[in-house]
Structure 1
């Protein structure tokens, strides 16, 4: 069925242009000058009036954790609830992390995550693989998974005894990525040094949520980022720093990029809008804001926004990993070490970044670039995803820049009992969301179906030098 979207302003990474968009079935077929469709004999089955609205490529969130075991519990959004919430916020593709078990295989992890997503995902999804056990078998499996469209592998310099990889293990994985073209994603914090600081804090009787932040200093993020870049330089592996949170870490990435190195970084909305004072809320309320890396002092935010403008930060993803406050977070009531690390956010990423537009921090074009186009290029989905152009998937968002919304756990669609943005008033809202040619959200009604989302077999990053 052909559909024509008329009257809107198409926003791309290159700018804003008034245009009509035609799609047929699952694919965009034409981007036309306003009003020319009828003149050239196009008679769509349906017309959608987007007058006064932006027409965007669907958002792509490349850092989510659906139904992920962690800290004695699991994130409370599964692929059905999480992708539905994503669609409500204008995201039409996610890339989730399949977690290898210690002693298990990478292929088992991918198969497990396919099992979680198939029949449940409401929008399209891709997968990264978390390398929790670097050995001869898993290194060989990296090559196999690249052929399956799993072209990015995450390692941790944090969480000793759970996820942490030694420098030698990281080097081995980077050498393999250098050979097969995959991207290494890095959680960059010096986990063993942090554990020593944590041990001292607990010995001194400091158990409150705010000490999660106080025991994870920015210097140990910066040190790990620098070490990861050094190893990537030696091995010539592409490196992508996940959830970068602080000015020193950003300065290290900037220097590497200025030197022409194949280094990229993302940040998250929580680091752009929230700060460490949230973890010091009265009682146990601060546990709602415990994530890793920890929220930083407010002065870091201006530099992160600057990094987004200069492209030293390339992507904004959510690290969506929600745990209910009334149950899961209470595991750390008497010891901040036991608070499950993670925040809910997949539903509000696009709207919060639009807030950055209204604040004058980024342009409309940059909004689309960091939320859709660059993620698609970075992780091998472009030009099927991340752009409104003939031949691309009809993943389209009609966005009302004047709509008002009030953020609350009472009304959001994530399967979690609190919001870190509770009570915020945001300007801008996804009015209509189209996933591969099917309208899944319209007039505040969700019509997407679990299982409709398809696996996206990804190619290599388009930013490899």
Structure 2
């Protein structure tokens, strides 16, 4: 059955107007005023914003890490994402040295294929760069439509690669139309500081932050940006947390480099003091890069408003406090890194950003959806409200107030890092490719209904 959404306020990255949206099958068929379509189901959207579905460019679902596996898989994670207004996620596919890239990709397809309730795609981790990898990567781009590659500059002896691998990845990306993503922290110095802290008996969660100071994020960000410029390539810096990294990205962009930056809601509203909570509660806030001192929040908000940072990801990587985060009692290095964020990305940015006047409504849409679609080869199929685009829509009530809590969230983790925070505005219904996933705040979707998205090559935005 077709669907006719009437009377809502349609908001894109560039427009805002009252109108009706006719959905036929999976696509938007028409947009206008006083549309009439016999036989269509009519949805009353008066008093609601209609946003394009959110695109979360940074998730880790069903991912092994630190001797355990993230609590949320592709079913619980995408269900929670949908409750939060997200209709597409791009997850990180981990690889292992010496193992064909296609083996890793197929493993991720098996994780997601019969579980995801919304559309999804993958970024591919690059753990080494040699002739075998170089021979495989063109197939990954052409056949899988995976056009973004992740390189870690941190996690020494686990994920970290050397500058040679990063630079060769940038050269390949330039030639073949891919976007290189980088986790920018100086892993060698972090390794030294970590061993030094443990040798002195400093084992509490706060030392996770103190051994990963912002100077090391700034240094790695600048180094990656200079290598990007030397390769004349394109670089996307994930989860930016601090003034030092923002400065490096801003300077690179002012030099005309194709460097883009992402931050996450946790860095906009939480700070380093949470890692000092007593009774090991600080472990709930251990992720990398770590939370920073509070003044960095304003730096990040200013960077978003001014366009120095372009996108918002969740860096969803959830672990239970009981039984998983507790693995690090007595040794902060054994605390699994990450938190449950995917459900609250959309609402926190709206409430703390738009509602409090830090960013405009158009900037909000751009950060949570449109810019991600453009950077990662999904626009205009995703990321906007236009005739011919996928019918991925969020019906959003800007007047609802709710309190975030693990008691009411839909993620599988046993805690929420934003516990007790009041936010203004909530998705009430979410449509993915013409079908309700969330309707009147109730889940009506189906596991396995999400499609894998083959993405276009990188185009400068």
**TM-score, with length taken from structure 2:** 0.98
RMSD: 0.9
Structure 2: runs of 5+ lacking an equivalent: none
Tell me the residue number matched to 1:232: 228
1:277-356 aligned within 5 A: 277-355=273-351, 356=353
CA distance in 1, matches of 2:414, 2:243: 32
Shift of 1:132: 1.6
- Are 2:68 and 1:73 equivalent residues in the alignment? yes
- Are 2:246 and 1:246 equivalent residues in the alignment? no
- Are 2:45 and 1:50 equivalent residues in the alignment? yes
Tell me the residue number matched to 1:393: 390
For the Cα contact (< 8 Å) 1:139–1:173, is it kept in 2?
no
For the Cα contact (< 8 Å) 2:185–2:216, is it kept in 1?
yes
- Are 2:456 and 1:462 equivalent residues in the alignment? no
- Are 2:400 and 1:403 equivalent residues in the alignment? yes
**TM-score, with length taken from structure 1:** 0.97
Match of 1:211 among 198, 204, 207: 207
1:32-431 aligned within 5 A: 32-33=32-33, 35=34, 37-38=35-36, 42-147=37-142, 148-355=144-351, 356-431=353-428
CA distance in 2, matches of 1:193, 1:66: 29
CA distance in 2, matches of 1:44, 1:424: 43
CA distance in 2, matches of 1:461, 1:135: 23
CA distance in 2, matches of 1:408, 1:456: 32
Shift of 1:185: 0.3
Shift of 1:31: 1.2
CA distance in 2, matches of 1:374, 1:93: 13
CA distance in 1, matches of 2:404, 2:161: 38
For the Cα contact (< 8 Å) 2:427–2:441, is it kept in 1?
no
For the Cα contact (< 8 Å) 2:397–2:425, is it kept in 1?
yes
State the number of aligned residues: 459
**Larger displacement relative to structure 2 (281-290 or 436-445):** 436-445
Q: Deviations over 1:150-193 (max 9, x none)?
A: 00000011011111111111111111111101110000000001
Q: Deviations over 1:332-357 (max 9, x none)?
A: 00100000000111001110011111
Structure 1: runs of 5+ lacking an equivalent: none
The DSSP-based 3-state class of the residue aligned with 2:398 is strand
For the Cα contact (< 8 Å) 1:58–1:386, is it kept in 2?
yes
For the Cα contact (< 8 Å) 1:54–1:400, is it kept in 2?
yes
- Are 2:30 and 1:30 equivalent residues in the alignment? yes
Q: Deviations over 1:88-140 (max 9, x none)?
A: 11100000011001221211111100111111100000110011232221122
CA distance in 2, matches of 1:44, 1:129: 44
Tell me the residue number matched to 1:5: 5
CA distance in 2, matches of 1:357, 1:341: 30
4+ long deviations beyond 4 Å = none
CA distance in 1, matches of 2:135, 2:294: 44
For the Cα contact (< 8 Å) 2:62–2:72, is it kept in 1?
yes
For the Cα contact (< 8 Å) 1:353–1:367, is it kept in 2?
yes
For the Cα contact (< 8 Å) 1:134–1:165, is it kept in 2?
no
Shift of 1:44: 4.7
